[in-house]
Amino acid sequence: MYAVIKTGGKQYRVQPGDVVVVEKIDGDAGAAISFNEVLMLGGDKGVTVGAPVVEGAKVAATLIETRKGEKIKIFKKIRRQGYRRTNGHRQMESVLRITGIEGAGETAKWDGKVELITKAEINARARGLAPRVEAAPAEEAPKAKKAPAKKKAEATEA
């Protein structure tokens, strides 16, 4: 099942389990977010198009992080006048994990676990700069067995 949602003046096609980068949404990491502006739903029962939104449809998501996006450079120049200006901008954006879609008599949930790992931490792990975190520590590690002592008879024969 998929849905087309509208947020931040843009439209996104999403499915349960997708990671989507959208315009900044207020909230802390791990917050549950619900989108009521669902423009279209598609699934096993066919496609449902809203006019302008599908009534009773919701898309649930979890906010993973809010960060600055890629740097955009603005360069202005008027030729032969010695006029050059450089400026830059980094837009704030939010990273979301879509956890569920419901509407038009259908529901779809994502069964996975939402991990709140930031993009910076993922990049650091890829370069080997961040320590790896174990998923679940072992309850008790098995104790190392001692090596059997050599018998005196074996030592004299050798």
pTM, two decimals, is 0.72
Residue in 36, 15, 44 with CA at minimum distance from that of residue 105: 44
Residue in 86, 70, 79, 96 with CA at minimum distance from that of residue 8: 96
φ, ψ dihedrals at 129, nearest 5°: -95, -20
pLDDT at 73 over 90: yes
pLDDT at 34: 96
Q: Mean pLDDT across the stretch 34-42?
A: 95
